């Protein structure tokens, strides 16, 4: 039997929970669908040891309910995954959000009925749900990149995946372990595994920049000071460039003396979020020489932390400008290379040949290991949307429409797919911001939009080609203006074979993005075709 609701919400992560809650508040009928058995999204699926958020906990939390933010108290500066999952569960309990979702159910596809202006959402349980509006709250980093190393299925030891970690603790003591990948995930995992493994081989292709987390328990005084001004500070951050409202002097890098710059970078390094570097000087994300001053500073830090200068040198990124790949925070990452049981395998120097039944082989030598841990990243932004069959007008599948590159208007809708809202989709700030601030903005905008459409008696909303083209073009132009023009990364889709090189996140910043979305709404949803 087909169930009919006003709104179907896919995903019970931070975005989906809020979307379902908001739709119910509008008085609409809602069906949430979640593949996992619990709320939490990325914090439900990811549970590898050492996993910690790289945005401070008092910021990485909902701001839409004052009592919630006053009642909940974070224990550490950067939360570990179990605490964030507990928070998500607390919110679900507090606002009775679970009753809006069907868990343990994966969406397999959705097809638009062009005459009825409804979507039929299908699930792996064989169900069909029709909905006027669909909100895809599926996250930008939810589909792992397939392992693309020759021979990986032949490995006879234990293969572990950061994105599908066993629910019982894994004991690495006495084992020879290889970690593949040195993004945020690989860095966190390697730091943890180095504590107990007999031998740890860290397989690095592209090094990341990493800055000490300086994680610490939060004092009662600090928490009280945050809570005293929570609402006002949240509001300020909503209009900032990164959603974090980090400080930045109003001058260009070379307007400061070398000593001034060094002192300021040192201050950021010791005290502030690493994302502060992005706005440290006005021109660091647009001017290559200004940008290089940060790399030079951080390179010196790597040398201070790693005893062997040759290894330190290999750990220093050289192939991309600072800020065009995720800057990581760590809890002793570089120092693991001072331990006798930890070995850096530089795949740029000796490329990987293959994985074998007993380990792996580079061009230079063969290694025997008991465990291989893959921290090889995601098919970001589009993976999850392309893995289900989203069929819009005239039977077009989103994955085919996006073959030459994902395109949206305001990150929220793609031409040919009416009534299908994306949250933190391509060309929205999402991963280049405090994503909770971004997803709240997106979900609130969608909520206001659906309320408007409902009140005005509209049954259909579709992005126009003209508006979408202009939005994508503007984002590409910003990409060309910034240091991203010289980079290849998952922000551009470059990590997945065959994926087109497109600027996936919106680079304009959180505040300007919010302003653009608000203007569109105030102008009667300019750039969208509305119909009853």
425 token code pair: 């989709």
Candidate ranges 119-127, 174-182, 258-266, 383-391; the one touching ligand NA7 (CB under 6 A): 174-182
d(CA 523, CA 518): 8
Of residues 34, 43, 29, 45, the one with CA closest to residue 12:
34
Of the candidates 118, 98, 102, the residue with the CA atom closest to the CA atom of residue 110: 118
Query: Contact with ligand NA7 (CB under 6 A): which of 81, 120, 185, 295?
Result: 185
Q: Which is nearer to ligand NA7, 122 or 324 (CB)?
A: 324
CB 356 within 8 A of CB 324: no
Using rule CB under 6 A, residue 213 touches ligand NA7: no
Q: How many residues bind ligand NA7 (CB under 6 A)?
A: 23
Least separation, in Å, of the C-beta of 18 and ligand NA7? 20
- For position 183 contacting ligand NA7 by CB under 6 A, the verdict is yes
Interface pick for ligand NA7 out of 29, 159, 196, 206 (rule CB under 6 A): 206
> Interface with ligand NA7 by CB under 6 A: which range of 33-41, 201-209, 303-311, 354-362?
201-209
Mask of contacts with ligand NA7, 144-173, x by CB under 6 A? ----xx------------------------
Counting contacts by CB under 6 A, is residue 376 touching ligand NA7?
yes
Return the residue of 490, 491, 525, 528 that touches ligand NA7, per CB under 6 A: 490
Q: Does 352 bind ligand NA7 (CB under 6 A)?
A: yes
* Cβ 313 vs Cβ 334: under 8 Å: no
Torsion of CA 69, 71, 75, 79, to 10 degrees: -40
Alpha helices for 26-80 (secondary structure H) = 42-45, 66-71
The answer to the question of residue 432 lying near ligand NA7 (CB under 6 A) is no
User: 395 with 411: CB under 8 angstroms?
Assistant: no
Closest CA to 300 of 284, 283, 281, 315: 315
Closest CB to ligand NA7 among 186 and 511?
186
Q: Is 52 in the site for ligand NA7 (CB under 6 A)?
A: no
- First-to-last CA distance in the chain? 27
Q: Are strands 342-346 and 352-356 parallel, antiparallel or unpaired?
A: unpaired
Number of residues assigned to the chain: 532
- For position 474 contacting ligand NA7 by CB under 6 A, the verdict is no
- Selected from 100, 290, 306, 431, the binder of ligand NA7 by CB under 6 A is 431
Among residues 326, 407, 460, 499, the one that binds ligand NA7 under rule CB under 6 A: 326
Write out the DSSP string of 77-106.
Answer: SS-BHHHHHHHHHHHHHHTT-GGGEE-S--
Considering only CA atoms, which of 43, 133, 24 is closest in space to residue 412?
A: 133
Minimum Å distance from CB 13 to ligand NA7? 13
How far apart CA 58 and CA 417 sit, in angstroms, is 37
Q: Per CB under 6 A, does 180 bind ligand NA7?
A: yes
User: Which of residues 22, 122, 138, 184 is near ligand NA7 by CB under 6 A?
Assistant: 184
Report the phi/psi class of residue 133: left, alpha or beta, with left for phi > 0 and alpha for psi in -120 to 50: beta
Q: What is the nearest approach in angstroms of ligand NA7 to the Cβ of residue 142?
A: 10
Indicate whether 91 belongs to the interface with ligand NA7 (CB under 6 A).
no
User: CB 151 → ligand NA7: shortest distance, Å?
Assistant: 12
| Residue 186 lies near ligand NA7 (rule: CB under 6 A) | yes
Chain residues in the site for ligand NA7 (CB under 6 A): 141, 148-149, 180-186, 203, 205-206, 326, 347, 352, 375-378, 431, 490, 495
């Amino acid at each position: 039997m087909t169930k009919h609701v006003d709104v179907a919400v896919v995903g019970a992560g931070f975005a989906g929970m809020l979307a379902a809650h908001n739709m119910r508040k509008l008085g609409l009928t809602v069906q949430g669908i979640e593949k996992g058995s619990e709320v939490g999204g990325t914090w439900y699926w990811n549970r590898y040891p050492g996993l910690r958020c790289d945005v401070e906990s008092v910021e990485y939390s909902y701001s839409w309910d004052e009592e919630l933010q006053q009642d909940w108290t974070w224990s550490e500066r950067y939360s570990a995954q179990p605490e964030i999952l507990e928070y998500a569960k607390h919110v679900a309990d507090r606002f009775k959000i679970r009753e809006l979702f069907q868990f343990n159910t994966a969406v397999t596809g959705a097809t638009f009925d062009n005459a009825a202006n409804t979507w039929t959402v299908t699930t792996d349980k064989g169900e069909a749900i029709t909905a006027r509006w669909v909100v895809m709250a599926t996250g930008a980093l939810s589909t792992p990149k397939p392992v693309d190393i020759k021979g990986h299925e032949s490995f006879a030891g234990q293969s572990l995946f950061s994105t599908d970690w066993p629910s019982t603790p894994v004991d690495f003591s006495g084992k020879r372990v290889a970690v593949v990948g040195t993004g945020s995930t690989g860095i966190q995992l390697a730091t943890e595994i180095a504590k107990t493994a007999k031998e740890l081989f860290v397989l690095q292709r592209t090094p990341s920049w990493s800055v000490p987390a300086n994680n610490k328990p939060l004092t009662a005084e600090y928490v009280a000071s945050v809570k005293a001004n929570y609402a006002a500070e949240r509001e300020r951050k909503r209009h900032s460039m990164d959603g974090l409202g980090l400080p930045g002097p109003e001058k260009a890098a070379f307007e400061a003396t070398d000593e001034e710059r060094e002192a300021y970078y040192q201050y950021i390094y010791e005290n502030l979020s690493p994302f502060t570097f992005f706005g440290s000087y006005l021109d660091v994300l647009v001017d290559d020489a200004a940008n290089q001053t940060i790399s030079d500073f951080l390179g010196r830090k790597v040398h201070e932390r790693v005893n062997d200068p040759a290894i330190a040198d290999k750990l220093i990124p050289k192939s991309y400008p600072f800020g065009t790949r995720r800057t990581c925070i760590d809890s002793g990452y570089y120092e693991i290379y001072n331990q006798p049981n930890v070995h850096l395998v530089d795949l740029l120097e000796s490329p990987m040949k293959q994985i074998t039944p007993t380990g792996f082989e580079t061009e230079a030598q063969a290694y025997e290991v008991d465990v291989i841990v893959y921290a090889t990243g995601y098919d970001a932004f589009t993976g999850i949307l392309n893995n289900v069959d989203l069929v819009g007008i005239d039977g077009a599948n989103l994955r085919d429409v996006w073959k030459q590159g994902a395109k949206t208007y305001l990150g929220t809708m793609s031409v040919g797919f009416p009534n299908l809202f994306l949250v933190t989709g391509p060309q929205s700030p999402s991963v280049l911001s405090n994503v909770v601030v971004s997803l709240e903005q997106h979900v609130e905008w969608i909520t206001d939009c659906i309320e408007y459409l409902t009140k005005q008696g509209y049954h259909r909303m579709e992005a126009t080609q003209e508006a979408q083209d202009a939005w994508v073009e503007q984002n590409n132009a910003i990409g060309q203006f910034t240091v991203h023009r010289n980079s290849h990364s998952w922000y551009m889709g470059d990590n997945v074979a065959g994926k087109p090189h497109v600027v996936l996140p919106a680079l304009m910043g959180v505040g300007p993005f919010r302003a653009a979305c608000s203007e569109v709404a105030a102008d009667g949803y300019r750039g969208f075709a509305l119909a009853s």
